[in-house]
Structure 1
Amino acid sequence: MTQQLALITGASSGIGATYATQLAARGSNLILVARDAARLQQLAQSIRDAHGVEVKVLAADLTQPDALARIDRELQDNPQITMLVNNAGMTVDGGFVTADIAQTQTMLTLNVVALTQLAYTAAQAFRSRGAGTIVNIASVLALVNENANGAYNATKAYVLSLTRNMQRELADSGLRIQAVLPGLTRTEIFQRTGRSIDDLPAHMVMEVEDLVAAALRGLDAGEPITIPSVEDMGLWQTFEQSRSAILPFISLSQPASRYRQQ
């Protein structure tokens, strides 16, 4: 049996670094991608020492076209890669209107453009081999309109929608495709926007090790959507059923009666 080789973006810290550690503990070789080469090298060596797996480091800022193209080529040209953890992402400080628009545009490039390109390339490569795993990291904010930064929420709603469509399109391809929707998680993402996660209610914050362990167990169980803190996934099914109920009515030849002249 071929040993798994996982390419993980945003791997220098937080969710990405924890995926790297936990996948290595399962015996997976790794390709780690992030901007910070020094942190990647330090993480890679600690994983090699702890688990004896092969770890390759590719320093790349995925908001830059040349860097994204380099990682894209790695996915295309390395037939040993069996898994993509599409984790790289960022948020911005403030609401949609108050945030710096240049930072918002950078966020869109990373959270949407880069993720889409790598998901597409991995799907093409894995489909040609009849096997492979794609994990797209979204967020519970994909389901929330009322709170946080609307542009960030929209990027994560995009990731969820894209993943659901990929699951439909690739249903008979032999690929495993999972969307993971973390809630509040203890990572550096809050520090980068000048906030502290310690200011949030403790009962709402999950440790990153618990989050990734739950996500991997959800993948093992074949879950298409994993929301680690939701005990009753019947709630998700109800949400999906409610969404489906409107679909027969969203495109008809006549406007609804409330819009017609009396």
Structure 2
Amino acid sequence: MSSPKGTALITGASSGIGAVYADRLARRGYDLILVARNQQRLNAVADKLRGETGRQIAVLPADLNEKAGLAKVEAVLRDDPGITMLVNNAGIGSVASILQANVDTMEAMIDLNVTALTRLTYAAAPAFVARGTGTIINISSVVGIAVEALNGVYSASKSYVLSFGHSLQKDLAEKGVRVQTVLPGATATEFWDIAGYAPQKTSEITMSAEDCVDAALVGLDAGELVTIPGLHEEALWTRWEADRRDISPKFRNAKPAPRYGLASRSASAR
């Protein structure tokens, strides 16, 4: 029997945060479609969860950095009416500076962290709107705000996810689609092995993937638009967001600000 909650499609589901989302959502009663490159690891996650939860779990091996793989997942999101949730978790990072990092590697990071996430969201959103319900969870990072912390391209890609989420919330809020942007801090996953700084996994400031996802799902249940599991002082985010929204109308000026001295220059020219 299909789940009354529908099916959650999770990218990057073979390990780390994605695998924990798979576990938690299956236990909440969702059927799953698990997406990642490594079919063997996907099968292991799926077999374990089928045995423990009894949910229907499909694996969809795909490399989201390749057009064919990305198109395959887009088609499933567009065409499968049972999908009610998309978790855009797949991503890679780096700790290298612009003087150390390879630009082709950086382009591949943009392709996965930005382009794939965007295309999958564009595939899911119209289908969710047509059915009047759906949830999109996009995994950003605290470095989307603390942009100097790691590699600049990685930070910029996560800033994109945060900004994209704000826009999605504006566009979809009245159409029955929930959009949550999650900003994990340092989390104990293979991310750090790939990014080039494995010791971070055991740092005293590093959160477990289980705690990160559990907090994010509580935030989802509470209706949070942006969830930052490691930020204890919630008022700091509330103030940051209020200031951002307050400054936005103040950009609307046809003349440069007086501090640039262009008004006096124009007067003297006359």
TM-score bracket, normalised by the shorter chain, equals: over 0.9
| SS in structure 1 of the partner of residue 174 of structure 2 | coil
- Give the alignment of 1:76-91 within 5 angstroms: 76-91=78-93
| SS in structure 2 of the partner of residue 144 of structure 1 | coil
Q: Which amino acid aligns with 2:192?
A: F
Structure 1 gap ranges (5+): none
Structure 2 gap ranges (5+): 265-270
Q: Which amino acid aligns with 1:147?
A: A
**How far 1:200 sits from its partner (Å)?**
6.2
Indicate whether 1:229 and 2:251 are aligned: no
Indicate whether 1:3 and 2:5 are aligned: yes
**How far 1:199 sits from its partner (Å)?**
7.0
Alignment partners' CA distance in 1, 2:230 and 2:95: 25
From 124, 128, 131, the equivalent of 1:129 is 131
Q: How many positions carry a matched residue from both structures?
A: 261
Larger mean CA deviation between 166-175 and 245-254 belongs to 245-254
**Corresponding residue of 1:244:** 245
Q: Which amino acid aligns with 2:239?
A: T
**How far 1:240 sits from its partner (Å)?**
1.1
Larger mean CA deviation between 96-105 and 220-229 belongs to 96-105
| SS in structure 2 of the partner of residue 229 of structure 1 | coil
Alignment partners' CA distance in 2, 1:134 and 1:25: 19
Alignment partners' CA distance in 2, 1:124 and 1:22: 26
Alignment partners' CA distance in 2, 1:71 and 1:258: 51
**Corresponding residue of 1:253:** 254
From 11, 14, 36, the equivalent of 1:12 is 14
**How far 1:85 sits from its partner (Å)?**
0.2
Identity percentage of aligned residues: 46
User: Aligned Cα RMSD in Å?
Assistant: 1.4
Larger radius of gyration: 2
**How far 1:221 sits from its partner (Å)?**
0.7
Q: Which amino acid aligns with 2:9?
A: L
| Contact kept in structure 1, 2:189 and 2:201, CA below 8 Å | no
| Contact kept in structure 2, 1:4 and 1:81, CA below 8 Å | yes
Give me the TM-score of the superposition, normalised by structure 2. 0.93
Q: Which amino acid aligns with 2:103?
A: I
| SS in structure 2 of the partner of residue 27 of structure 1 | coil
**How far 1:251 sits from its partner (Å)?**
3.1
**Corresponding residue of 2:23:** 21
Indicate whether 1:120 and 2:130 are aligned: no
